[in-house]
Amino acid sequence: MNKLGTDRITAAFTQAQQKQTAALMPYFTLGYPDAETSLDIIEAIAPYSDLLELGVPFSDPLADGPTVQHSTQVSLENGTTTASCLAMVRELRQRGVQTPVMLMGYVNPILAYGQDKYVQDAVAAGVDGFIVPDLPPEEADEFDEKTAAAGLSLIPFLAPTSNPDRIQMVGAAARGFIYLVSVTGVTGARSQVRTDLAGFVERVRGETAVPLAVGFGISNPQQAAEVGQVADGVIVGSALINAVNAAEDKVEAAVQFVKSLQDSLQK
């Protein structure tokens, strides 16, 4: 890893922008359906991904819908820990995966692990940034300072219900990108994209220069393409896990699904 994490994240969005497309960021749970299969899936989809959001399982994943909840529960039952997730990222780097990696996890395991040690070990493993859904910006100063000092990004969230003051605050402080939640509610594939998404993106874009990535509810290539028309990045999780669950050859199913999303963004 020659560049620091935030620089690598920014470069991924810049490269996508130069290709006149949105950056694709698939989400997948580390350790699901087992550790080796998750590594094989992530390694296989990396060439078709601009960034990777990798889930650290937690017993009470408040932001996640049934699909991701199930995957995290299975992963926990397999014995996945915060330490083993960091080891899996290290293994992916050793396998040659160069795609920027965002670790998505909740704040309790980070506090239990120790914030300094978590950031230090994440840097050593090859992590580029963190997504922590239950750590609001108002309470994130300590962890944000530690990640910034290490050259990594702590990614903030904004929702359609965010007021102008909050949008301005988050927009001014963000590094890497801002995660825009397309709907109020939990993660999960949905039948249609929110109709006023473009307006939400524009409101946030007026307050920041960092890229804006949209997640929650994007379930197929057509929806990914719609979101990619207005946002700088597209995040897809539950639909990828559903595709893996339905297939006998789970690695091939993941590759075909992610390729279909990437192809939709290129058009």
Q: Which of 242, 183, 196 is nearest to 27 (CA)?
A: 242
- Res 186: pLDDT: 47
Question: How does pLDDT run across 60-75, given as a tens digit for each residue?
Answer: 877 777 899 999 999 9
Q: How far apart are the first and last CA of the chain?
A: 31
- For the ranges 15-19, 62-66, 79-83, which has the lowest average pLDDT? 62-66
H or E stretch at 204: helix 197-205
User: Residue 216: which of 256, 161, 170 has the closest Cα?
Assistant: 161
Catalytic residue of the set 64, 91, 121, 128: 64
pLDDT in tens, 220-247: 999 999 999 999 999 999 999 999 999 9
Q: How confident is the model at residue 262 (pLDDT cuts 50, 70, 90)?
A: very high
Domain 5-266 adopts which CATH fold? Answer: TIM Barrel (3.20.20)
pLDDT for 189 equals 47
* 158 contacts 166 by C-beta, under 8 angstroms: yes
Summarised one tens digit per residue, pLDDT across range 104-146 is 999 999 999 999 999 999 999 999 999 999 999 999 999 999 9
178 against 61, higher pLDDT: 178
Domain range annotation of the chain: 5-266
The Cα 248–Cα 60 span in angstroms is 29
Distance of CA 153 to the CA centre of its chain: 12
1 pLDDT tier (thresholds 50, 70, 90): very low
Could you say which of 53, 144, 226, 232 is catalytic?
Answer: 53
53 classed as catalytic: yes
Task: Return the beta strands (E) in 30-137 as ranges.
Answer: 52-55, 101-104, 129-131
pLDDT at 184 over 80: no
Average pLDDT over residues 70-96: 97
